[in-house]
Amino acid sequence: MNRMMPAGMAEAMNLTRQGRLQEAAALLQGVLRPAAAAQPAPAAEPPPSDAPPKPRPAPRGRIFDVDPDGTTHFPGLKRRAPRPAGPPTPAGAQFLSGGFSGAAGERKYRLYVPANLPAGPVPLLVMLHGCTQTPEDFASGTRMNALAEETPRLVLYPGQTKAANAQRCWNWFKPGDQARDRGEPALIAGMVRQIMAEHAVDEGRVYAAGLSAGGAAAAIMGEAYPDIFAAVGVHSGLACGAARDMPSAFAAMKGGGPVRTPAGRPVPTIVFHADRDATVHPVNGDQVIARAAAAGLRTTTTRGEVPGGHGYTRICQADATGRVLLEQWLVHGGGHAWAGGDAAGTYTDARGPDASRAMLRFFAQHSLEG
C-alpha cells in the first residue's frame, strides 16, 4: 500500500497517529501540491467555528484541505455555503425537521413528504450527505425532493453533527461505526425504524444512498442491515471495511482498501464514481462492486455521452431474469461531485450523467420481497 502513496505520506500518517493533525495536513499540502498545479485555487471559505483556520493559498501551485477523517478537498469544484432552508417546497409538500435518540446517541434529520403522496405505503429513500454538507444542502444538490414529486416516496436526510465529526463527515473509517447495532449505523437504522413507525412506508422498499463519506456510510448500512435496505447507492464513496483508522483511511482514499466477501445476502448496489476524482480514488468504486458481487451474473457494458457534458461507461451485472443487481457508472472527466446535480448544492457537477435519476431507476427494480 505504501508504494502507491506519494513520498511523505507515511510521515503524515505517523503524525496523524500522534494526534498532530495540523502538522500532518501541512506536510500533505507540500507533498501533493505539485500534482495538479494547473488548476486554480478555490475562493476562500471561512473555517468551521470550532476548527483552526485553514492555510491560505500559496502564490503558485494548489493547496487542499484535509478533514479529520482523512478526506482531502481539492479545488476545481466551486464550494458554496450551504443553504439552510434547502430547496423550495411546493404547495402541499412538507420538509419536516425531527430527531432520533437511542443508545448510540442522537441525530437530527429532515424528512421530505411530497405533495402528491398517494394513500398507502410508499418507498423510503435515506440520503447520507458528504463532509461539510448538511441535509438541506444535500437535498438541494441532488434534487431528490423534486424527484420525489415525480415518483412519490419519502426522502429522509439524516444529519451528522460537528460534535461527532468536526467536518460533519460520517465516520465510515471507525470500527465502532461499521457494524450492526453499533455507533452511527445503529443511529441511522433507528431513525429509519422511527420513520417507518410514524409514516406509511413500504417496508420492502427502503433504500440508502450517499456521497463520499455518506456513500461509504450507505455501503455500511447495506451490509449491516440487509433486512432493512433493499438496495444502496454509493457515489464517490468507499467499500465497507476499507479502513479501520485514520492512517488506513488516507491509504484507502488514495489507492483503495482491503476487499473481502461479506457474509450473508449481497445487497443490490449502484455505484457512481468519476475517473478524475482526486479525493477518493476511483478504484474504490470497483471495490464497492467487488464486495457486492454474486456468482452467475451476466455483464453488459455500454458507453455514452451527455450532450454538452461528460462521457461515461456503464457496466451492468444482471441475473437470469434480466434484473440488474450491480450497476457501475464511471464518469469520464468528472471530479469529486454528485453527477448531474444542481449547482444550488455543494459538490455537484451539472454535466451529468444524472446520478439521482439513475439511482431511482435502479432502486425501482428491487424490493426485499423479490
Assigned C-alpha cell, 202 = 413500504
Q: Roughly how many angstroms between the first and final C-alpha of the chain, as a whole number?
A: 40
Residues designated as active site: 212
- What does each C-alpha distance from 171 to 131, 134, 158, 274, 361 come to in angstroms? 10, 15, 14, 22, 28
β-sheet bridge partners, residue 313? 303, 330
Instruction: Determine the 3-state secondary structure of 30 from DSSP.
Output: helix
Cα 286 to Cα 256: distance, rounded to the nearest angstrom = 9
Query: What distance in Å separates the CA atoms of residue 269 and residue 324, rounded to the nearest whole number?
Result: 9
Distance between CA atoms of residues 307 and 26, nearest Å: 41
What distance in Å separates the CA atoms of residue 46 and residue 60, rounded to the nearest whole number?
21
Q: Are 248 and 257 in contact (CB under 8 A)?
A: yes
C-alpha grid cell for residue 33? 501540491
Phi, psi of 94 (to 5 degrees): -135, 140
